[in-house]
A and B are shown apart, each in its own frame.
Chain A
């Protein structure tokens, strides 16, 4: 399977109050080929998707998500997280080709 330059992007507030619920947005650049599309010659384009997305905060799982072939290209994932303390969110996108794309974001709680 071909290599993808997924350029993962995350958007996390830089600061929060203790136990505040913050909004997190993520996006990766990916064609998300669902395995059913035909190319111009009529042959099937093989499946090639991001099949799993995870987010941890200071090592603890926040979200662990199975991603299916119906998700559109450049998957945009948004969720909320409660932040008890200062720390680091770590994000990972798992590609069918075995690659894992990673990003981190720090947040200061005061």
Chain B
């Protein structure tokens, strides 16, 4: 297609009229590079661009063109949510908010030169860098498992093709077979996530394959919303779910993906489908940038999500070590708004608001049986601290549980709009 200078100018004029004119134009604009287009990164990029009227050059680096939310991916496994409903693209961030969306991997950060290197070779200067890379798996945390075996034993803990694969394996499992999950040690993304997943797998199996069994091999003594899940499992899926904890050696587990066996401290279990959720650490770029501690997470300043190791870098979401907030999409979204405000304050002298954080994690146990846990948080010197919290109660009536589930759908629609619209 040929573009005439006159038509180009006309379309630019129309575009300029469609949103506020930039306050500052050209290379003098401070640049904020955001690495990772999930709940932390997409929210940060959107708030930075939207609230600065074009005064910031916002660059978002995200390798995938369609982002599949981890939250609600369990509901897809359970047949309550469509795969397409989990997927979101970055077009509106570019078209409506003027964000420069680059689909590439960030492979290096030079903190002295304040540059980010991309896999494609480009080098980006930054005034401020926001890292929101999510999680990576700790190598050899489950001996025998590696990404080369993830098709035989899917993790499905970064949503997308792995989630589709696990769903297919569950649906095609032999009659009366065993679905096993190797659950992760703390801390990890989405504390109730593995147990909501168990609920959704149980829902599918109880309809399609009712003599099937579920085995949870869990290195933890206890887990999030345990009383609620166990009550729900006894009610909806009696006798189907067995959980083996560290009392029975579940803190010493290895797998053989070829033989489809799990070795629980010397006791061999034959399984038909095996969901291995390994131990986790901050996404690799945080480590490459030298921002992580011995535990593999990036410590941050509670008041503004700045890295404790570099005050030109903010780390958001699952990758950060911040205190009491769980690693969740809601947390990352909440942290991103605090960081975006702090960055606009420093670069554009925008008014600084005191940091307030909040989180809620909903889980679906069965059809219309939703539960939640949440809290609000404030920064102290040492950590982001929980100031009050709430949790669903055992024995709640069906109507309240249905409302809780409805509320979670409202939240989902709200957060993806807050990230992508």
Contacts and interface: CB of A to CB of B under 8 A. Distances in A.
B238 A31 contact: yes
Contacts of B267: 9
Contacts of A31: 234, 238-239
B239 A5 contact: yes
Interface in B207-243: 213, 230, 234, 238-239, 242
B249 A11 contact: yes
Interface residues of B, number: 13
B266 interface: yes
Interface string B362-385: 000000000000000000000000
A27 interface: yes
Given A9-B248, A31-B234, A73-B234, A14 B266 contact: yes
A7 B238 contact: no
Interface in B249-269: 249, 265-267
Interface residues of A, number: 14
Q: Which applies to chain B's interface (DSSP): helix, strand, loop or mixed?
A: mixed
Nearest to B244: A9
Contacts of B239: 4-5, 29, 31
A4 B267 CA distance: 22
Given A4-B239, A7-B242, A14-B266, A25 B247 contact: yes
Contacts, number: 28
A27 B234 contact: no
B103 to A, nearest CB: 48
A7 B244 CA distance: 11
A5 B234 contact: no
Nearest to A10: B248
Interface in A6-59: 7, 9, 11, 14, 25, 27, 29, 31
Contact of B242 (A11, A29, A78): A29
B248 A5 contact: no
B248 A11 contact: yes
A27 B238 CA distance: 17
Contacts of A9: 244, 248, 267
Contacts of B234: 31, 73
A103 to B, nearest CB: 11
A73 B265 CA distance: 24
A25 B267 CA distance: 14
Contacts of A7: 213, 242
Contacts of A27: 244, 247-248
B202 to A, nearest CB: 14
B389 to A, nearest CB: 26
Given A9-B248, A29-B239, A73-B234, 17 more contacts: A5-B239, A7-B213, A7-B242, A9-B244, A9-B267, A11-B247, A11-B248, A11-B249, A11-B265, A14-B266, A25-B248, A27-B247, A29-B242, A31-B234, A31-B239, A73-B230, A76-B247
**8 closest cross-chain pairs (CB), A and B:** A29-B242, A11-B248, A25-B247, A9-B248, A7-B242, A31-B238, A5-B239, A73-B234
